[in-house]
Structure 1
Amino acid sequence: MPGESASHDAGHLRRLVAVLAADIAGYSRLMGLDEEGTLARLKRHRRELIEPTVQEHFGRIIKTNGDGFLAMFDSPLEAVRCAIVIQQSMAARNMSLPPDQWIRYRIGVNLGDVIVDPDDIYGDGVNIAARLESIAVPGGVYISGGVYEQIKNKLVVGYQSLGDEKLKNITDPVRIYRVLPDPAAVSGAALSNKWRWGGLAAAALLSAAGIGWFALNPDGLENLREMAATAAGGDPATSTPPEPPAATALSSSGTLPGLPPPPPPSTGNLPIPIPVIAPPAPSAGTQTAAVVPPQPLDRPQEPGTSFRDCQGCPEMVRLPGGTFRMGSSEDPSELPIHQVHVAPFAMGRYPVTIGEWRQCVAAKACKFVLDGEDSAPARNLSWADAQQYITWISGSTGQAYRLPSEAEWEYAARGGTSSRYWWGERVAPKMANCKGCNEPYDPRQPANVGSFPANPFGLHDLTGSVAQWVADCWHATYQGAPADGKAWSEPNCRENVLRGGSWRNDASYARSASRAHYDSGVRYPAHGFRVARSL
């Protein structure tokens, strides 16, 4: 069993860590069906998904063992986020295959004191994670009570309590929780003293209702939003978080109506803590945010020219309308390739900077305080944070700012080209701020905006730098996507699209067609945004 350890020796380093144990359900059957093909897929998934996902969540793979692996994290929150990203990404990859060829992991996560060797970890903390993995349902994530206590109010997911269970070779009973994809699913999860049968019944119920982990959003929660407050006096593991005032009944697809409120300011649990500092008080006679009313245009403005709607506003570049082929054949989420017509619009020359974000904070319209150079891209921002900035700048200038649609973003990133990157088919030195894209590169932070060449439309940092939020709700493919360049929105959207990759990602994420997604209300250190507005 992956990760299970023997008794320890004295004198070794001990640490309190989150341990993630995973293996593939039905691996022997898969190997029997197609030995070479299954092994090739397993290696590809490890290389393309498992290893980078663990790394992006600040974890370390300790060892692999046949079809399983063992990873260690300093943060239980990041360990669970990583587990959910892996399960959702695997679900997306499985969609193009018949069910008997699906590769599905079982994952267990435990918080415990372990012995750390250079190439392995040992102790009951490891054994419990391995036992949780062994009893998890295929595609599921089971966590111990210790992990639950650390993360219960920090993720918008549900938790089904499976009770206290005696695990093999573990002295004391362990409280076990199953992570559910949607807080609303908790109320429908049957709890029983015989938790194994209860868990199976709940899984069947969720599947029949169409709101199971994979049916709800096959490519789903690539990480998470902070959990809405549970009902007064209720146990978060058995109660459904209250809905926003405007919420209605669950839709036929089982999604929660309405979005949760924006997340509170940083609690210090972010992957890269950013000190919270109070904005400096404006001196006498100084405007909180210097705004100049927009001037009427006497004549049509040429595409490619730039403007600012206020002092300190983002520099906007006018882009011509046009038709292009959106998507690629490199990833199932980028299919089908389809033709889209985009109307003329304006887009920020750079991602919104820390200096521009600070003006919104000073005006008390944006709540999250960022530290760093004014010319650095604003990051560690959720989609909800971006909406606060857009509301503020729209009100300040009288112009209807917004996030670009996904189609507008790709159209702008391509800059009139049809290649993988706007400069060609292969990575070129000094063209983008991404991992493996050559110098200059600092793994700790992105380069300041404008440090790399502009594309043919005069836009910088659409490749690498910070992954950029767009207006669209996440859809696993482009099947049914609009052809008019407008945002593909949903009334109960839980996740939004990110484009462009980040400085932490390799060049494959920086392709013009590459797509990603994340929970709309959760901040992540590599996420930022740029603004757009119609002309």
Structure 2
Amino acid sequence: MAAQIPNGRFYELPPIALGATLGEVLIPVLDHVEELVSGTDHPVEADRFLGAVLFTDVVRSTDLLAEVGDNRFARLLGAHDRLVRAEVEAGGGTLVGIAGDGTLSVFDGPVAALQCAHRIIRSTSTLGFSVRSGVHVGSVTRAGPGLTGMTVHIGARIAASSGPGEVRCSQAVRELAVGGDFDFTDLGRHRLRGVPRQVQVFRATVGARPAQPALPPRPTVSDRAVLTMARRAPGMLRELARLADRRNKAVRRPR
């Protein structure tokens, strides 16, 4: 077939890696097609960038489905998807994809991703959903409308290890999120499925901000008048206080 195509060449691609996504399989094929059509090499690094990926997933969604029924669950899931999209866009991120009750979003930095994760957990709880999430940062590759790469894979596995209402992240996220008003709890090194090395995982919680000292009450006009009298005529103020005390005693005296 290659011999029958003008300027055609035969390429034997390497075997498909176990667990590869459809996007990862098609990228080298599309690169060769683009090179044939355009006559120029595909810039391999053009679709790679540094990003923070956020995965969310509804916990025990099957139990909720059995409880509320198909129709009610479909409406709740639609409302969940709209809430997630609104929160992601409000945080400056991009909702990359929705698969069932799970979502993938990407942000420019990990602080925005962590903040969005906590907002999604709070907002979707009003629908009766319990959501877990995971955040990782690293180099990702665009594959059509989706994202691929080990960063995406690790982020998904971190989210899968989270509990209900929990936000977990990698050590890279923790190091880059300094000053983001988050507290991080070290959960130790985890062996995540499909990841060749162990990953240090942290729980990210919103840090408690120090309470602002209460401002003293502003003095009223009467307060300022009394203070002025106390400075200028302390004897008169003492006499007024003595007369007021005498009047109060007279009022309380039984008749």
**TM-score scaled by length of structure 2:** 0.64
Match of 1:15 among 38, 41, 49: 49
Match of 2:71 in 1: 36
Match of 1:259 in 2: 211
Over 3 Å counting, the alpha-carbon distance change for 1:82 and 1:5 in structure 2 is: farther
Match of 2:188 in 1: 163
TM-aligned CA deviation for residue 117 of structure 1: 2.9
Which amino acid is the alignment partner of residue 211 of structure 2? L
Q: Tell me how far apart the structure 2 counterparts of residues 110 and 39 of structure 1 sit (CA, whole Å).
A: 30
Match of 1:409 in 2: none
Match of 2:179 among 148, 153, 159: 153
Residue 138, structure 1, aligned to residue 164, structure 2: yes
Match of 2:95 in 1: 61
Q: Tell me how far apart the structure 2 counterparts of residues 260 and 124 of structure 1 sit (CA, whole Å).
A: 43
Residue 83, structure 1, aligned to residue 109, structure 2: no
Over 3 Å counting, the alpha-carbon distance change for 1:128 and 1:76 in structure 2 is: same
SS at match of 1:138: coil
TM-aligned CA deviation for residue 181 of structure 1: 4.0
TM-aligned CA deviation for residue 5 of structure 1: 5.9
SS at match of 2:194: coil
1:303-318 matches, within 5 Å, as none
Match of 1:357 in 2: none
Q: Which structure is higher in RCO with an 8 Å CA cutoff and minimum separation 6?
A: 2
1:505-516 matches, within 5 Å, as none
Over 3 Å counting, the alpha-carbon distance change for 1:151 and 1:260 in structure 2 is: farther
Residue 115, structure 1, aligned to residue 149, structure 2: no
TM-aligned CA deviation for residue 175 of structure 1: 1.0
C-alpha RMSD of the superposition: 2.8
Q: Tell me how far apart the structure 1 counterparts of residues 143 and 108 of structure 2 sit (CA, whole Å).
A: 15
SS at match of 1:154: coil
1:193-232 matches, within 5 Å, as none
Over 3 Å counting, the alpha-carbon distance change for 1:30 and 1:129 in structure 2 is: same
Which amino acid is the alignment partner of residue 188 of structure 2? G
Structure 2 unmatched ranges of 5 or more? 1-18, 29-43, 222-255
Match of 1:213 in 2: none
Q: Tell me how far apart the structure 2 counterparts of residues 66 and 90 of structure 1 sit (CA, whole Å).
A: 15
Over 3 Å counting, the alpha-carbon distance change for 1:136 and 1:44 in structure 2 is: same
Which amino acid is the alignment partner of residue 53 of structure 2? V
Q: Tell me how far apart the structure 2 counterparts of residues 21 and 260 of structure 1 sit (CA, whole Å).
A: 35
Contact 1:5/1:121 (8 A) holds in 2: no
Contact 1:5/1:122 (8 A) holds in 2: no
Match of 2:58 among 9, 18, 24: 24
TM-aligned CA deviation for residue 129 of structure 1: 0.8
Q: Tell me how far apart the structure 1 counterparts of residues 148 and 100 of structure 2 sit (CA, whole Å).
A: 19
Over 3 Å counting, the alpha-carbon distance change for 1:260 and 1:176 in structure 2 is: farther
Residue 70, structure 1, aligned to residue 114, structure 2: no
Which amino acid is the alignment partner of residue 137 of structure 2? L
Q: Tell me how far apart the structure 1 counterparts of residues 170 and 190 of structure 2 sit (CA, whole Å).
A: 10
TM-aligned CA deviation for residue 45 of structure 1: 2.4
Which amino acid is the alignment partner of residue 169 of structure 1? G
Which amino acid is the alignment partner of residue 60 of structure 1? T
User: Percent identity among equivalent residues?
Assistant: 27
Which amino acid is the alignment partner of residue 15 of structure 1? F
Residue 105, structure 1, aligned to residue 131, structure 2: yes
Q: Tell me how far apart the structure 1 counterparts of residues 104 and 190 of structure 2 sit (CA, whole Å).
A: 22
Q: Tell me how far apart the structure 1 counterparts of residues 186 and 141 of structure 2 sit (CA, whole Å).
A: 29
Q: Tell me how far apart the structure 1 counterparts of residues 107 and 162 of structure 2 sit (CA, whole Å).
A: 20
Structure 1 unmatched ranges of 5 or more? 95-101, 184-224, 226-257, 262-386, 388-393, 399-535
Contact 1:114/1:125 (8 A) holds in 2: yes
Over 3 Å counting, the alpha-carbon distance change for 1:5 and 1:31 in structure 2 is: farther
Q: Tell me how far apart the structure 2 counterparts of residues 5 and 139 of structure 1 sit (CA, whole Å).
A: 29
Q: Tell me how far apart the structure 2 counterparts of residues 61 and 138 of structure 1 sit (CA, whole Å).
A: 21
Match of 1:176 among 201, 217, 223: 201
Q: Tell me how far apart the structure 1 counterparts of residues 178 and 191 of structure 2 sit (CA, whole Å).
A: 23
SS at match of 2:48: strand
Count of residues paired in the alignment? 181
Deviations 1:429-450 (A, max 9, x none): xxxxxxxxxxxxxxxxxxxxxx
Over 3 Å counting, the alpha-carbon distance change for 1:113 and 1:125 in structure 2 is: same
Q: Tell me how far apart the structure 1 counterparts of residues 134 and 86 of structure 2 sit (CA, whole Å).
A: 19
Q: Tell me how far apart the structure 2 counterparts of residues 5 and 89 of structure 1 sit (CA, whole Å).
A: 33
Contact 1:5/1:127 (8 A) holds in 2: no
Which amino acid is the alignment partner of residue 104 of structure 1? S
Over 3 Å counting, the alpha-carbon distance change for 1:117 and 1:161 in structure 2 is: same
Deviations 1:170-214 (A, max 9, x none): 12221110113445xxxxxxxxxxxxxxxxxxxxxxxxxxxxxxx
